[in-house]
Structure formats: structure tokens, C-alpha cells
Structure 1
């Protein structure tokens, strides 16, 4: 309890904001190449054996990678209850559109090889393609809508009212952000297949991944330009106590053109995040053309991580702005759980995150190496 009293509410809120960012990056970088590989399945694999090689490149690790998504959802629920309430209720249909493909993915992995009929396997191959495409697109669309503001309001008793619709989420800027997400995960999947596959599969993955890297570069730059030119940001216009009560209605907020770039103007070193996002995509393209799969994978991971971190740096201290009632916008300083809750969770997280990272690293070490097409053909030790 002494340590609890020594750690200020402000520090705990900031630490948990950082941890949410780490969990989101962890999910995007690990499960991201699974989603990208699924999108490449019908194109990088031209026959049944090649497609089985692609499936077995991610089959042993996708479940472990998805743990980061579960951790992120749990952390939001416990650390930022108002954020969880608004996003998981207001974005219900969008969440459903993500969960259905994620549920279908293991079904497709398991059922695909139960029959040898080409039509049966082709249907499951396209199902796997959609289980990669749909979540990748929706995740980006969600970020695009958050940057524009979400149509919710709070009553004085903190009851939440969401007044948006699913179709309204599919606006031009949000779809542009969705395309950025699809492109960067395709890039990541291409780099992963270069590393894990051999022969024609690796070459096709290299070609598609190279195009995706260039698209990531171009689309991300266009999204940044659109954010600067067309999208008004949000700015707190009153005093916002960093250690005050979790009541978003105690502040005033205004729309302001270019507000999402104010943090970069005040702290120029933050430009490293979007800069490395662009540089990582460019390096991924260069390394793919040079047939350096490992370096391409690291570069694409750098690009994905910095693109996500760039959004967080741009929005801070906002975590969910409201387009209906800007003062109801949720920030790092006024929408968290209690001081004690954040502290207890931090202790638990400090204990368990290293265990998860160590176990994940061990699994990747054990499963390292190229997928052997001959072993798949002979059914030696492969699950899919």
C-alpha cells in the first residue's frame, strides 16, 4: 500500500495509456501477419499443396498471437470502463463484423482438409481470405472514425447514448484508413511468407508484399494529408486536472482545424513515429526486392508499430472524442478506473506480461524454420 500511495493517479493513468498502446501494437505486429497471410492465400498459392504451405506458415502460431487482442479488450474493460462501454456498445455491429471472421478462422483451418474435393477446399480458402480482409479493414475504419469523433453523449449521471449507425462508419476518410490497414497487413503477411515459405509461394508473396509496401507508403501519406486538410481535431480549452475525478463532463472541448498535429508542433521529436511508419514501409519494399525476408519482416513490423503509435501521439490526451458533445470526449485524465484499481492491475500486468512474452518467444523458437512442402505432402507432423 505504501507503493500505491507513492504512485500518483496521474502516473498510473499515463502508464495504462502506454500499456494499451503496447497491447495494440503487439496484436497488430503478431496477429497482423496472420491476417495478411490469410488475405494472400488465394493468390500466393496456386494449387492445394501451395495453399497448405501458406496455412501451415501461420497455423501453429495464430492462436497465441490472438491473445494480444484478448488482453487489449480486457485491459480496456478494467482500466478505461467508459471507453469500453462506448466503443463496445456503440460499435456493436462493427465488433460483430470483426468477431465473426475471427471465429470462422479456426473453423476454416480445421475443416478445409476434411474433404479432398477441390470445390470444398476452394470455399474454405476464400473464407480464410475474408477472415483476413474484413477484420483488417474494420480495424482501420474504426481508427478513422475515432479521429473524426464518435457520435455519443453523456448524461449528468454518466449514462451513455450512442447516436450513430453502422453505415455512417463507412465514410470516405474512415475507408481510407481501412485501406491503410489492409495494405500494411498485406505487407506484413508478404514478409512473413517470404520468411516461412520457399519457391513459388515465397516469390509470389514477395511480389504482392512489395506492392502492398508501396501502397502502405502512399495511402498513409494520403491519410495524413487528409487529416491535416479536411478533418478537424479536438482541443481541451479548460483546465484538465491530470489527477482529478473520472468525470469527462468537467471540461470544455472545441473542434479546431489541425488540432491533431498540435502535439507534433509542441514536441517535434514525436514526428519520429509517422516518419518511421513511412520509412519502415519503404525499407520493407527494399528488403523484399532484395529477397531478405527477415529484414523485411522487421521493417514491416516497425512500420505498423509506428503508424499506430503516431495515431496515439497525435490524439493524446484524447482516447475517444465525441462529435455530438465535445466536452463528453474521453481523455486519459478523466475516464479511467480508480487509483487503487489501476495500481492492482499494474502489479498483475507486471507479473504476467513477461511470462506471456517469454512463452511466445519460446514458441517461435521451437517452430522456427521454413515450412516443408514435402513433409506436408507426406502428412508428417502437420496439422493442416
Structure 2
């Protein structure tokens, strides 16, 4: 089975952030070395011995740059052996400010990494500490300078807003400082209180206070306006880029296209099925070393699920969903299947048709989850197209 992109998960962090629910573990040198070996066995087992051609490669976490130089080189050599890096248009890695040194920057550049996504989150040292982050504002400046010195021009900066006790003006100041770097890509996400996190425990005890919802909406509107004023296109609900710098790997997800997922807790989407790997690190390593197949579950993707995902993933893009593309993929118009749903959402002012494309309105973006829920189907709903 082939996919056009690959995601590789590195679950190690020097410190666990208080809001994060991704698969992650405190960095341990011995365990990290074992993990790279297990990862190699998983990839070797599942995609064979020849170099695979993919359009995008993404190393995420956790914090991939938490690996030491030897481990990072082993990871890069593994990827270079199994994938044709030269044929990939985008090779991304996630990183924390402060994790980079000159040797790591040289190593990544030498192996063809051409995009770095920095988890900055907020420009406030006290708030960074409250989030459980290790870096300081000065580390952001040092890391961006270091990356530019080594030829990285495709740098993305990630922010979180609607943080505990954050005001609208505080977010505006963070945004202004972020934009002063004049980078080609920015991501900004509203804080989500996820189960099994420190913030979730504090929230349940009444010890964590989020800004009121109207302030969160104001922050989002300021975000959109500021990005536009700085020449960045709003191309996905939470993502902004200068022309040509859109995240090609993330667009694979939003276009509902296929990708490999390797590593602890990683998810893949292959023709006809989704896979989810074992999350606990010792269990992942054990299974990957035994048979190279550390998959916890597989889910068959039927026509019903493919259509649902096409709609609510596609509507995350500001360009929306092309009806002609939908017809080419499924053999019929989404108008035929969702006639009543589309009429309801248009009446609410949450969606609009722009030429061939169906997309969210500004109001619809604010109620995105409510919109997406409208596209869930019953099996009997498909009778109109069979």
C-alpha cells in the first residue's frame, strides 16, 4: 500500500507541557536509542527495502530535537535510506526554541530538512513557565537567527491564544512580536483543555480560568486582521502563510489524502483504512522489535466515512471544497447527498458557495464544530447516490 506523505512521531520531551495530550515521554537517552531502533524495524517491515517516493515528510512530537546529536543522525539516516528525500517537496521537523545548536542545524540541513516548525506559543516568560515550557523569549530570537544563518528560510512559528488569564491586549502584544520576525508561516490555535493534562486537572478543580468566550472571538478576529495586514494568506482555520509557503504536509490531511504514520501513537491513513499505533512507549518498542507491526487498531474506511471526512476536513481550508473535485472523487455532487444540510447551513449564514467551492463564512468558522457535525451520515443516507 502506498501513501504520498509520511509522518514520523518522536515522543520525547525535556519537560511535559501542561496543556499537551500528544503521545510524549520524558527524554531518556537509553530509551530514545531503543526507540530509534524500534522505529527502524517498523518502517523496514511495513514499506519494504527500496526507497519510497513521497511528496512530504514530517517529523513531529513530542520534541524531535530533544534527541541528542547521535540519535538525531540515526533518525536522519533511517529516513534517507527509506525515502527519496530529494523527490519530496517538503521535509519538516517540529522543534522547541532553545533545543537547537549549530551542530543540529547543520545536520538537519545536510539531510535535506527544508522546513522548521517552532513551538513558541506565547511571548511572555511568566506565561511560558505557567504553560510548562522550558524556553524563554530570548531563545526564540536566538533559534530563528541560528536557523536563518544555516539557510532555513521556511520557518513556521506556532502560537496558542485564549490562555489562562490572558487578555485581548496581551494577545495583541504577543502577535505583534511574533509578526516582527516576518516569517513566511504562522499557526495559532485557541487553547483546548484536554483530558489527562495538568490543565485539565486544574480546570476541574476550579484553579484554571480561561478568558471569556467573547474575548477568545476578539483574539481570533485580531489574529486574522493582523495576518492579512502583514501579507499572510488565511488558508486554513488556524494557519496563515505567504504565497507558496503553505504547509504542504498539513494540506495532505485537510485534502483527505493518504499518509503513513510511524512511531508510538502515530496514525496513518492508507487506501481503505486508518491505523493507530500503540501509545505506551515500552509496549510500542517491544512490539515493533518483535514483528515490526506495533499497530493497536485498524479501522476500515467505507464510503460513508470517506465522504464525511472529505467534508469536514475540506471545510477547514479557507478555499473550501471544490464540487468538481468531489464529483471526480466520488462520482456525484455533494449537493445531491447534502441538499437539506446545505440549505440549513446557508440559512444559518455558516456556509457559502464561492464559484465551484463550498466554504465556511466568517461566522461559520466560529461555529466550525457545529457545522462539521451536520455532515455526519447514516448508512441509509447513501441510498440517494446508489
Whether TM-score is above 0.5 comes out as no
**Shorter-chain TM band:** under 0.3
Please, what TM-score do these two structures have when normalized by structure 2?
A: 0.26
The higher-RCO structure (CA 8 Å, 6+ apart) is 1
Please, what TM-score do these two structures have when normalized by structure 1?
A: 0.27
Structure with the largest fraction of helix: 1
